[in-house]
C-alpha cells in the first residue's frame, strides 16, 4: 500500500493477513473508498453505471391483476353415476 502525504511524499506499507478472507475484505473496502472519492470529484463519471437497464414502473392508468389460485379448482364436486 502506498501512503501519500499532502506535500507529495509517500511511503510504501506492507500488510499481512492471517486469513485470506480478511485480506479480501480489506482490499474490497479500499476499492470502494477509491470509487467513492472518484465519484465525489466527478459525479457524472459513473452515472451510466447506476441506470436501470429496463423500466418496470407502471405507466399512468396501467393496472396489475393478481390471481392466487382459481376458485373453480379448489372446490371439486363429486359426481356419481347411477348403476342400477
Give the mean pLDDT of the chain.
Answer: 81
pLDDT tens per residue, range 17-48: 999 999 999 999 999 999 888 888 887 776 66
Q: What is the pLDDT at residue 54?
A: 79
- Reported as a pLDDT band with limits 50, 70 and 90, residue 11 is very high
Asked if residue 7 lies in contact with residue 14, where contact means CB atoms within 8 angstroms, the answer is: no
State the greatest distance between any 2 C-alpha atoms of the chain, in Å, as a whole number.
107
In the numeric block, which cell numbers belong to residue 79?
Answer: 359426481
84: cell is: 342400477
More confidently predicted of 42 and 78: 42
Report phi then psi at 71, rounded to 5. Answer: -70, -30
Amino acid at each position: 500500500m502506498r501512503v501519500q502525504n499532502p506535500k507529495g511524499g509517500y511511503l510504501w506499507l506492507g500488510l499481512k493477513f492471517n486469513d485470506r478472507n480478511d485480506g479480501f475484505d480489506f482490499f474490497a473496502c479500499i476499492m470502494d473508498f477509491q470509487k467513492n472519492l472518484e465519484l465525489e470529484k466527478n459525479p457524472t463519471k459513473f452515472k451510466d453505471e447506476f441506470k436501470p437497464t429496463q423500466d418496470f414502473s407502471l405507466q399512468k392508468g396501467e393496472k396489475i391483476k393478481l390471481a392466487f389460485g382459481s376458485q373453480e379448482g379448489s372446490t371439486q364436486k363429486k359426481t356419481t353415476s347411477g348403476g342400477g
